[in-house]
Amino acid sequence: MATAAPESHLRENPFRLAQQQLYKVGETFGIDERLINVLRECKKAVEVSIPTSMEDGSVRAFTGYRVTHNIARGPSKGGIRYHPDVTADEVKALAMWMTWKCSLMGLPFGGAKGGVVCDPKAMTRSELERMTRRFTSEIINEIGPEKDIPAPDVGTDASTMAWIFDTYSMNKGHSVLGVVTGKPLTIGGSLGRVEATARGSLYCLQSVLERRGTSLQGLRIAVQGFGNVGSYFAKFAVEEGATVVAISDSGGGIHNGNGVDVAAAFAHKRGGGSLSELKGGDAITNEELVVVDCDVFAPCALEQVITEANADQVKAKLIVEGANGPVTPAADEILEGNGVLVLPDVLANAGGVVVSYFEWVQGLQEYFWKEDEVNARLNEIVTRAFDETWATYEDRKTSMRMAAYGVAVQRVAEATVTRGLYP
């Protein structure tokens, strides 16, 4: 008997939303419609079947995608996610957002993304390795250090990258350090890569607070998602004097107005536990966490958690998008009308791709940097991007999202015009 598919977290088509955002940028910044027609489409999308031997002796054919949105500014770059809700249009949207993110940060990359429709939590490590290696074999002609460089995303980690790196290198006959980023340190990973996305989010938050003449001291923060980004963001925020009042993972979380013990949660999660088991607070669902009473809300999980349906109930006055696409365009307008400042994904979570770029550079040179060097350069790049976005935000009297996208899209459009159309 066929089992019913679980309800997806995607309420609207993410690629259509990404295109809508692009059209709005085109109108706001007066970008030639012919250029928008080029930028609204993905350069290449590949769908592959990934037959995998399972532990019970059966063979399952998973579906995988690799999408390149744009390469006007350099080779494409972007994560691979393993999740039951992965769709072709979700991967396309994420690839487009990666293009804007790399452009905003001033990196010589275009955007790409990959995904496999699977539930990694329900698979053994051996099954994941076999699936990953076969997926790599299926897309081996699409990726490479001068062509398209994958990285971790939702449901993947350094081990996944190690398997891709090894499979690719075995096929090439020599180690190719630059084929993926987010690798373990022992095989050419970069110091600071694991915490990079959260650090970048923190730098953005600190920059906006400085503009307002305040600091993180005593600020009440709610964090949705306690994976790589959310857990480190909560940890760093507490270290800087903030109070984290609520945290959650995919199974729910806890709320405590006086502050959650983030260090205990961090240790519990690293030990394989779920946040709903934690003591020291009241149980809270992910839906409740979005509208909890706090100063800053950091959605660090999946897309479309703030929608038209709940945007009016959001109490935070500042949103830091640790995840990609957590606020829909309709919700954006409601939040803006309510005086909520949104630090958009292409700015707030770009720290990961910045240090991925550093890892790629280090791999090509086969010369590796110290951690404080990595963090200092990350701070410099993210802060510069924030300053450019803030200047456009004030100058154009628009939202931070429009400002960030405007800066980014104009750079890609300019590169497209400079290169010209071939033939």
pLDDT top residue among 6 and 31: 31
Look up the pTM and report it: 0.94
- Please write the tens of the pLDDT for every residue from 356-389: 999 999 999 999 999 999 999 999 999 999 999 9
Mind listing the pLDDT tens digit for each residue in 71-111?
Answer: 999 999 999 999 999 999 999 999 999 999 999 999 999 99
Domains of the chain with bracketed CATH: 41-176 (3.40.50.10860), 196-348 (3.40.50.720)
Question: DSSP letters along 253-301, please?
Answer: EEE-TT---HHHHHHHHHTT--GGG--SSEEE-HHHHHTSS-SEEEE-S
Torsions phi, psi for 192 (to 5 deg)? 85, -5
pLDDT digits (tens, 9 = 90+) for 131-171: 999 999 999 999 999 999 999 999 999 999 999 999 999 99
Length of the chain counted residue by residue = 423
Structure tokens at 307: 């929608």
Query: Which segment of 53-67, 149-163, 212-226, 261-275 scores lowest on mean pLDDT?
Result: 261-275
Residues noted as catalytic:
113
